[in-house]
Amino acid sequence: MSFEYERVLTPHTGLRLHLNENTAGCSPAVIEAMRALTRHDVAIYPDYAAAIQACSQRLGVEADSLLLTNGLDEGILAIAVAALRNGPSTSPFEAIVVVPAFDMYAACSDAAGGHVVEVPLGDGFAFPLERVLGAVSARTRVIWLTNPNNPTGQMIPADAIASIAAAVPDAIVMVDEAYADFAETTLIGSAILARHSNVVVGRTFAKAYGLAGLRLGALIGHPQTLAPLRRVVPPYSINACVAAILPAAVADTAYYDWYLEQVGQSKALLYETFDRLGVDYWVSSANFVLARFDGDCTGLAQELSAKGVHVRDRSRDSGCAGCLRITAGVFEHTQAFVSALGELL
Ligand SMILES: *Cc1c(COP(=O)(O)O)cnc(C)c1O
């Protein structure tokens, strides 16, 4: 089985509702801060003091419990490398992935030499706690969880995360909170994170902050748990540009709040539209909605693309037959999707 990441085609025109990016772009304050960069700033290896300070303040964590990464993708790779390398070649260390899931968990686990153990979600994408616990073996070194999940938008009950963390004290339990901004709930500052030093939380500035192109993620965890991950991440992994603009990005809370409101309104419009059209969907805690269409959803996605609205075909994911995932961003963008869909259905 190949776990190689399948790169999604990048359309050069049209509305991108296929990668859960911020459809408004980043805060204008970020561009201003970028314009203030000098030739000298770009020519030197960056200093991260200001970026770390801004990020730790915004997330409410101490700097020694925080590791900035080149996109959360790099954080996922660092966990995979630290946890899974050096396994016996006859019986590699194992990584448990609850599927359907973000593709990078399997891709990085596999690249680091681990063995991927997939556990499917239950009916209606219910979290399969008993099956995850049943999949744990003496070789389990990492369990990948996503809260809220991508592509389903569903939350994992907090006590399920605590049970898993307690069951695998020697493995890392990564709780990927790439979409936690939209759920407005996080493990950061929680008793679970304080009590279980094997839990590592992942955050990204790609989605709510609109910095996908600049690449910035963060891992949050116990300093001792982060120590082996710090050894994997290269010393200048974050580029000077994103290091320089981060204080401005996190300071613009008005922009952030506005965007979260747009996402909320967009999700309401999607639900209303799917109700009206008789399309099944899952109420989402993230900035996208997964919907199940009758008939050929791959063809439907292609027809939407031809109309200039790109959505993500997830129909080949575990349990997702007939499903498209639509990013919920700026309200007018969602309206454009709704009218394109209306012309096709
Ligand atoms: C988008 C996404 C990421 C990747 O974030 P980057 O910071 O862009 O690397 C990680 N996890 C999940 C679940 C995502 O959807």
Considering only CA atoms, which of 254, 244, 208 is closest in space to residue 30?
244
Question: Is there a contact between 310 and 304 (Cβ–Cβ < 8 Å)?
Answer: yes
pLDDT on residue 33? 98
Q: In what order do the strands lie in the sheet with 309-313?
A: 15-17, 309-313, 323-327, 288-292, 280-281
Structure tokens at 176: 């990927």
Phi-psi region of 312 (alpha: psi -120 to 50; beta: other; left: phi over 0): beta
- Furthest C-alpha separation in the chain: 58
Question: Is there a contact between 325 and 337 (Cβ–Cβ < 8 Å)?
Answer: no
DSSP symbols for 101-126: --THHHHHHHHTT-EEEEEE--GGG-
Question: Is there a contact between 141 and 83 (Cβ–Cβ < 8 Å)?
Answer: yes
pLDDT on residue 11? 83
- Cα of 291 vs centre of ligand 1, distance in Å, is 21
Structure tokens at 203: 């955050």
Whose alpha carbon is nearest atom 5 of ligand 1?
72
Ligand 1 neighbours (beta carbon < 6 A):
20, 71-73, 102, 146, 150, 176, 178, 204, 206, 212, 217
What Rg value do the Cα atoms of the chain yield, rounded?
Answer: 20
For a mutational test of ligand 1's pocket, the pick from 5, 7, 22, 72, i.e. the residue with the most ligand atoms closer than 8 A to its C-beta, is: 72
pLDDT on residue 9? 77
d(CA 69, CA 192): 23
pLDDT on residue 6? 81
d(CA 131, CA 164): 11
Helix (H) or strand (E) holding 291: strand 288-292
pLDDT on residue 317? 94
Half-sphere exposure of 137 (CA within 13 A, CB side): 11
For a mutational test of ligand 1's pocket, the pick from 5, 176, 204, 220, i.e. the residue with the most ligand atoms closer than 8 A to its C-beta, is: 204
pLDDT on residue 184? 84
d(CA 232, CA 158): 29
Q: In what order do the strands lie in the sheet with 217-220?
A: 66-69, 217-220, 199-204, 172-176, 140-146, 94-99, 115-120
Residue appearing with tokens 């399997």: 106
d(CA 345, CA 88): 53
Q: How far apart are the first and last CA of the chain?
A: 36
- Cα of 178 vs centre of ligand 1, distance in Å, is 6
Going residue by residue through the chain (345 aa), what tens digit of pLDDT does each one get? Answer: 788 888 887 788 999 999 999 999 999 999 999 999 999 999 999 999 999 999 999 999 999 999 999 999 999 999 999 999 998 888 999 999 999 999 999 999 999 999 999 999 999 999 999 999 999 999 999 999 999 999 999 999 999 999 999 999 999 999 999 999 999 899 999 999 999 999 999 999 999 999 999 999 999 999 999 999 999 999 999 999 999 999 999 999 999 999 999 999 999 999 999 999 999 999 999 999 999 999 899 999 999 999 999 999 999 999 999 999 999 999 999 999 999 999 999
Q: Residue 32's CB: how many other CB atoms inside 10 A?
A: 11
d(CA 195, CA 306): 51
Question: Is there a contact between 120 and 99 (Cβ–Cβ < 8 Å)?
Answer: yes
pLDDT on residue 246? 98
